[in-house]
Amino acid sequence: MHTMRQIFNRQKKALFFWLALFVIGWGFTDFKPIFAGLILGSLFGLYNFWIIVRRMERFDQSISQGKETKSIGGTVLRFGSGVAAAAIALTKPETFNMIATVIGLMIPYVLLLVDRIVVHVKHY
């Protein structure tokens, strides 16, 4: 069984690869707002995934120590960062494409799904 930190580190590597492709696309194509939106959304999506990992580690630690945990803080932060990404894209529509930003927010979760499928196929 992989720990959340190991999964997060694999996710980071994959996401940095995609970010590099988005930067290349932004630099060498005429679709700058689309690639800028993908970059913006992916960065905020990575932040959201990092929040989940951090909260799960704290939850595991609290359970092992027999303490109570708060559960609403991570959700509020993730929701707020999604709103912040959308607000940035809405205030600068000439720079960031809103649809690409929303797609970028979902990229870490799609990568997580693909990673889980690959791990499952490898081990079974």
Q: Tens of pLDDT along 43-53? A: 999 999 999 88
Helix axes 32-65, 73-91, angle to 10 degrees: 170
- What is the average pLDDT value for the chain, to the nearest integer? 91
User: What are the DSSP calls for 51-82, one per residue?
Assistant: HHHHHHHHHHHHHHHT-----SHHHHHHHHHH
Q: 1-10, 11-20, 33-42, 92-101: which has the minimum mean pLDDT?
A: 1-10
**Residue written as tokens 């590099």?**
20
C-alpha closest to that of 15 among 118, 109, 116, 119: 109
Across 21-26, average pLDDT: 97
| pTM for the predicted model, two decimal places | 0.87
